[in-house]
A and B are shown apart, each in its own frame.
Chain A
Amino acid sequence: MFRMIAVVAGMGLALAATAEAETPRKGGTIRMTAPYGSSFTSLDIHTTQRAQDEIYAKALHRSLYIWDSAQGKPVLELAKEDVVSGGGLVHTFKLRDDAYFHNGRKMTADDVIWSYNRIMDGSKAYPGARFVRVIEGAAAVEKGQAKEISGLKKIDDFTIEMKLTDKVDPGFYFFTALTSIYPADEGAKESFIQKPIGLGPFKFVEHVPGSRIVLERWDRFYKPGKPYADKVIVSIMAEAAARDVAFRNKEIDTSVLGPAQYVAYQSDANLKGTIVDVAEVFTRYMGMNTAFKPFADKRVRQAINYAIDTDLIINKLVKGKAYRATSWLPLTSPAYDKSMKPYPYDPAKAKQLLTEAGYASGFEFEWTTSQNESWGLPIVSAVIPMLDKVGIKAKVKQVETAVLAEVVRTGDYQAFIYSQQSGPDPLAALKCFHSSTPQPACNYMNFKNAEFDKILDEAGQADDAAKRTQLLQKANALLYDEAPVWFFNYNKAVMAVQPWLHGIQQNPTELTHQNVEELWVDETSPAK
C-alpha cells in the first residue's frame, strides 16, 4: 500500500516538475537566423516574396489567418469568426477588436480593405496579388478598371464581407506575410519603409542592412501573456559554415542545416538533440517537356522514373535530408495518400517501356539545371549514368537559378530539374497541372489531361471535405501514373535549435517561419 502511495506521489511530483519545466518563461532574447541570402529584400513585406523576409515579418506583422503547425492548416488570426454563405463564396469576418498597431491605433475593417486594395495596385505588381485576386473585383483593380475591390465590403468597424471568385478556403490565401494588414494611415507614408508598423507580437527597433533586424516586445499584443521574450534579433547569416560556428558557440538560437551539416549534427552526441525537421511542402522533380517527341509518350516518362535509383541518390547525395516522393503532393499535405508507393528502381522495366515506345536504342535530351546542391547539378551528374544504362543520353545545360526560373516559365527546355511549392493547399498545388493553367503560370510541363481536369474540377466544387480529399488523392494518383516528371523528393527542412529555446513549431510551409509569440527561452540561455 505504502509502495503504491509512493509510486503515485512520485508520479505526481514528476508531472509537476514537467509542468514547471514547460511553463513558458517571460523575458530574454530570441536570436534567430535568416539563412537565405546576404540581406533582407525590403521592410515593406508586401513587396517581397522571399522566404528570408517572412522570418522577421512573422514577428512584426499579422494577416487575417495564421498557419497553425499543430493542426496543419491555416486558422483565423485577426478575425474571431468566419460565417460562410452564398454557396461557399461569401465570407463574413468578425474582426478582432483588441488588435493594436505598433503606433497604438486599433485595427479596423478599413485597414484590412486598404491593405488588400494596396496589394492589388497593378502598377506595383505586389507578389501578394496572386492571393488577393481570389476576391471578386480584385482583378479589376489590378487592371486599373476599378479603384476599390468590389467584393470587399465594410459592414461595420469590425466586420467585413468578402466575396470570392471560387469556392476555396480563404485561409490558404490570406495567411502569409504577403497579405499582412498595414495601418491605412501610416502604410501610405514614405517613412513606413524605414520604420514599419505592424500588428505582430514584436515591434520594429532597428535594421542594420546586411546584418540584422532587432524587434522588441509589443505590450499591447492581443494574445494574453504573449509574447514571452523581450526581444527578437534576426541575424542574416548566409554562410552555413559560419552559422555552424556561431551555433556551436551559442551565439545564435536557431540554424538551418544543409545536407553535410545534417549528417555531422546527427553523428555528434552533443548536437543530435538539437535537430528539428519537417517535410516541407516543396516537391523536387525533373520536368519533361511533352513538346519534345520522346517525352510526349507516357511510357518514356515512366521509364525514366524506373531507370533512376532515387533512394540511392537521396541517401548518398542528399544525405537523407529528403523524403522520397510518391507523387506530387507531399507528406504534410492534407490530401497526401499514405498508401501510395514510389516507382521502384527497375532498369529492366525501364528498358522494356522504352522498347514498347519505339526507343529501344534510346535517345538524347538536354537537361537544364542550376548548381543547387539538393536539386541541381550534383543530382543531375548522379542520374546521367543511370539513364545511360537504359540507353538515354543526357546533355547538361547549366544556368543560374534566376535564369532557370525563366527557362521553366518560357518552356525553353527539353528537361529541367527544379523545386516547386506543392502546398499547403492541395487543390492549388494540383491546379498547376490543370490544362487551363498556362505554362508560364505554374503548368511548366504544359500538362494536359481531360480526366485529370474533370477530377480536379469536381474536387473544387465538392462541399464535403472528405470527398474533396478523396478526389484530390485520385488526381494525385493519376499524376503518378502519367509521370509528367521524375518524382524525386519532398524537402526535409532541418533546423538546429538550442536546448534553451522552446515552442518551436514544425511548420511545413517553411520551417524558419515561426510564430514568434509562442517561443520562449529558459534560464540556461546566454541571452536570458
Chain B
Amino acid sequence: MLSFLIRRLLQTIPTVLAVVLLVFVLFSVVPGSIASTMSDDSDPQVELRMKKQLGLDQPVYMRFGAYVARLATGDLGASFRTREPVTTMIAKRAWPTLQLIFASMAFAVLLGVPLGFVAALRPGSLVDTVSMVLAVSGLSLAKFWLGLLLMYLFALRLGWLPSFGYGDGGLKYLILPAVTLGVSPMALLARTTRAAVLEIMTADFVRTARSKGMSETRVVKWHVMRNALVLILTTMGLQFGALMGQAVVVEKLFSWPGIGSLLVDSVLQRDIPAVQGSILVVVLFFLAINLLIDVLYGVIDPRIRYA
C-alpha cells in the first residue's frame, strides 16, 4: 500500500510539470499583457517600466526557469495585480471553493445514487421513467440558467434563501450555489448507478446468490451495492475534477468567493502568476481526489490489489 502511494505520488510530478509548462507557454504566446490592463498612462515608458518590474522583459525560457525554481520551494510568486503572494490569495479562497465542491457532491451523491438504485430495481416503472427524465434534464440544463431559475424561485418568489453572496459562510448562503453546481453530477450519478446496478443484477454471481436462497435485500446489499460502488466512485472522482471547472460559472453568478472567480479575473487581466497558481491548485486537487478514489477501490473491493 505504501509503495503504491509513493509510486502514485511520483507519477503526479510529470503531470504537474506538464500543466505548469502548458499554462506558462500558453500565456506567453496569447496576445494582451498585464501592463496594458493595469495602466492607461500616456507615457509609453511606464508600460516598459511595469514590464521590467514584473520581469516580463525577460525571455520566456528564463522566466519559466525562474518560475519552476521558485515552485520547487513552494513559492507560487506574487500576483501582478494585487502584489500579494499567490499562495495567500489562494488560501483565502480555497475554503469557500471546497465548501461549494463538497456540498455539491454531497447533494449529488445523496440524491443521485438512491435515485439510480430505485430506478434500476424497478426498470420500466414510473419511478424509473421519472428519475431518468430528471437525470437527463439535470445533465442538459445550463448552470447559469438553472442558477437564475433557483434564485428567482427560492429567493425572489418564496423568500426562503438569499439570492447571492457568502454571508457568514453559513448553510443558507451555500444551498443555492451548491444545488446549481450539484444537479449535473447528480444526474450523471443517477444514470451511472442505474446502468451499473442493472448490469450487476444480471451477473452470474447474483443469480447464484439468489439460487442459494439469499433474500433480495441481502443480494442487493452484499452483492449489487458493493460492486456498483466501484463504478460510482470512479464517476465521483471524475466529477470532482469537472466541478472545479464548472464552479467558475456558479461562483461568478452567486458572488461566491472561490478560486473560480479568482481564475476568471486573473485570465482576463493576464495576471499570469495568479492564473498559474489557481490552475495548479485545481490540478493538485483533482490528482489528490483521484488518488483517494484509487485507495478506496481497495477498501471496497479487496480483489483490487496495489501491486
The residues of A with any CB-CB pair to B shorter than 8 Å are 37-39, 41-44, 47-49, 122-125, 127, 129-130, 133, 193, 208-212, 235-239, 241-242, 245-246, 248-249, 251, 399-403, 405-406, 409, 421, 437-438, 440-442
Residue B130 interfacial (CB < 8 Å): no
* A211 engages B256 (CB within 8 Å): yes
* B255 engages A235 (CB within 8 Å): yes
Residue of A nearest to B169 (CB): A208
Q: Which residues of B contact A129 (CB under 8 A)?
A: 41, 43, 46
Knowing A130-B41, A235-B165, A249-B163, the reply to whether A41 touches B82 (Cβ < 8 A) is: yes
* B255 engages A236 (CB within 8 Å): yes
Expressed in whole angstroms, the minimum distance between the Cβ of B54 and any Cβ of chain A is 9
Q: Which of A44, A125, A406 contacts B39 (CB 8 A)?
A: A125
Enumerate 21 A-B pairs (CB-CB under 8 Å) in ascending A order: A37-B265, A38-B261, A38-B262, A38-B265, A130-B39, A130-B41, A209-B257, A210-B251, A210-B255, A211-B256, A239-B253, A242-B253, A251-B163, A399-B31, A402-B36, A402-B268, A402-B270, A406-B32, A406-B33, A437-B42, A441-B43
Residue of B nearest to A133 (CB): B43
Expressed in whole angstroms, the minimum distance between the Cβ of B49 and any Cβ of chain A is 5
* B37 engages A237 (CB within 8 Å): no
Q: What CA separation (Å) do A34 and B35 show in the bound complex?
A: 23
Q: What does DSSP make chain A's interface, helix, strand, loop or mixed?
A: loop
Residue B152 interfacial (CB < 8 Å): yes
Residue B212 interfacial (CB < 8 Å): no
Residue B269 interfacial (CB < 8 Å): yes
Knowing A125-B53, A235-B164, A400-B32, the reply to whether A245 touches B151 (Cβ < 8 A) is: yes
User: What mask results when residues 65 to 95 of chain B are scored 1 for a CB within 8 Å of chain A, else 0?
Assistant: 0000000000000000111100001001100
Expressed in whole angstroms, the minimum distance between the Cβ of A411 and any Cβ of chain B is 12
Q: Which residues of A contact B31 (CB under 8 A)?
A: 399-400, 403, 406
Pair count A-B, CB < 8 A: 162
Expressed in whole angstroms, the minimum distance between the Cβ of B201 and any Cβ of chain A is 44
Expressed in whole angstroms, the minimum distance between the Cβ of B27 and any Cβ of chain A is 12
Q: Which of B43, B82, B166 contacts A208 (CB 8 A)?
A: B166
Knowing A208-B166, A212-B165, the reply to whether A130 touches B32 (Cβ < 8 A) is: no
Q: What CA separation (Å) do A402 and B27 show in the bound complex?
A: 13
Q: What CA separation (Å) do A438 and B41 show in the bound complex?
A: 12
Q: Which residues of B contact A421 (CB under 8 A)?
A: 40
* A123 engages B53 (CB within 8 Å): yes
* A211 engages B166 (CB within 8 Å): yes
* A251 engages B164 (CB within 8 Å): yes
Q: Which residues of A contact B261 (CB under 8 A)?
A: 38-39, 210, 236, 238
Q: Which of A133, A251, A402 contacts B37 (CB 8 A)?
A: A402
Knowing A38-B251, A209-B89, A251-B162, the reply to whether A438 touches B44 (Cβ < 8 A) is: yes
Q: What CA separation (Å) do A401 and B31 show in the bound complex?
A: 11
User: What mask results when residues 25 to 68 of chain B are scored 1 for a CB within 8 Å of chain A, else 0?
Assistant: 00000011101111111111011011001000000000000000
* A249 engages B44 (CB within 8 Å): no
Expressed in whole angstroms, the minimum distance between the Cβ of B170 and any Cβ of chain A is 13
Known: A38-B261, A409-B36. 6 other contacts (CB 8 A): A41-B81, A48-B81, A125-B38, A125-B49, A130-B42, A409-B44
* B148 engages A402 (CB within 8 Å): no
Residue B110 interfacial (CB < 8 Å): no
Q: Which residues of A contact B82 (CB under 8 A)?
A: 41-44, 47, 193
Q: Which residues of A contact B36 (CB under 8 A)?
A: 402, 405-406, 409
